[in-house]
Structure 1
Amino acid sequence: MASKLSNEELKKIFDNFDNNGNGKLSYSEIESTVLRTYPEFSSRKKVIMRAYKQADASKNGYIEIGEFGIFLDALNHFYELYEIFQKIDKDQDGRINFDDFKKGRKVLKLIDLSEVELKAEFDKIDLNHGGLILFDEFCNYAIKRNIAAQVH
């Protein structure tokens, strides 16, 4: 996405996000601009936050022009992962339980696993051992397995 934009195009988009003109984007500026431009993200704020955190390479709490392309690419990538997450999260409660995971095994290309192997895979993803896979946990797993590329 962003990798296909010229520096001039990227700067123009960045300036649209930079509401106060200080040359750096706070999370608030990013969230408000994304939600204004793409209202469908109102139920996907986790995606915006995840992309923001990934793009903030300097860890200064802002996205600067050099990080902005990373942000746009991450926003697109995490949106795709959220769509996959939603396909598996059958009751749409923002969490994947083991039953959801079993039913979503085809989406994850895990159809050859036995139930015991599937449970072990679920437990590997459930980093906090809460019995549920949260979006952040799913993202960590999906990135390691390159899930978005396999599904599309």
Structure 2
Amino acid sequence: MPPKRSKEEIKKLFKSFDNGNGHLSLAEIDRAVTHYYPELGSNKKAIMRAYKAADNGGNGFIELKEFAKLIEVLGYYDDLSKKFAQFDKDGDHRITFNEFKKGFSLLSQDHLDDNYLKQEFNNIDTNGGGFILFDEFCMYMANRQHDADD
């Protein structure tokens, strides 16, 4: 996980990521993360999710004011990606109900019945596709964290 950095370090790191135009594209971020954080560089799902989370302006670029968040959430999404992979036993980048049921013990010590787990699965599967995708999993985990913090 990238360490906490001072404002000055963030500015310096931003300049090292930037191609000189004052904002970062996904390609610049991907290239720089691979270079500066090789342990995260192969995790494209985490990079994409961090990029989306940090783009507060919604313009498709990461500005300096958004960059600290990008660096902060890279490690978080890398951790979630690893947890997702523990559920996704067949490696097809989606979680079936059976995989969810088997993997739920990673999230909870409680033994929960199938009806509750099916309802939880359906709540996470926001697009109704019958699978939990990485973005859906991230939203679920963020909501769990938010609820735990309250």
Show the counterpart of 1:21: 20
Output the amino acid matched with 2:17.
F
Rate the CA distance shift 1:2–1:35 in 2: closer, same or farther, 3 A.
closer
- Consecutive unaligned residues in structure 2, runs of 5 or more: none
Rate the CA distance shift 1:62–1:78 in 2: closer, same or farther, 3 A.
same
Show the counterpart of 1:127: 126
Alignment check: 8 A CA contact 2:2 2:74 kept? no
The answer to which of 110-119 and 1-10 deviates more is 1-10
Q: TM-score, normalised by structure 2?
A: 0.88
> In the TM superposition, what are the counterparts of 1:92-107 in structure 2 within 5 Å?
92-107=91-106
Cα deviation digits, residues 59-94 of structure 1 (max 9, x gap): 122111111001111211111111111111111211
Shift of residue 30, structure 1, vs aligned partner = 0.5
Higher strand proportion (structure 1 or 2): 1
Show the counterpart of 2:9: 9
> In the TM superposition, what are the counterparts of 1:3-152 in structure 2 within 5 Å?
4-18=4-18, 20-41=19-40, 43-109=42-108, 111-146=110-145
Q: TM-score, normalised by structure 1?
A: 0.87
The answer to which of 29-38 and 131-140 deviates more is 29-38
Alignment check: 8 A CA contact 1:2 1:10 kept? no
Alignment check: 8 A CA contact 1:126 1:133 kept? yes
Shift of residue 14, structure 1, vs aligned partner = 0.8
Cα deviation digits, residues 124-151 of structure 1 (max 9, x gap): 101111111000000010000019x9xx
For the residues of structure 2 that align with 1:41 and 1:97, how far apart are their CA atoms?
26
For the residues of structure 2 that align with 1:42 and 1:25, how far apart are their CA atoms?
16
Identity over aligned pairs, percent: 50
- What is the aligned residue count? 148
Corresponding residue SS for 1:104 = helix
For the residues of structure 1 that align with 2:79 and 2:103, how far apart are their CA atoms?
16
Output the amino acid matched with 2:57.
S
For the residues of structure 2 that align with 1:78 and 1:111, how far apart are their CA atoms?
25
For the residues of structure 1 that align with 2:131 and 2:50, how far apart are their CA atoms?
22
Corresponding residue SS for 2:128 = coil
Measured on the aligned residues, the alpha-carbon RMSD in Å equals 2.2
Corresponding residue SS for 2:104 = coil
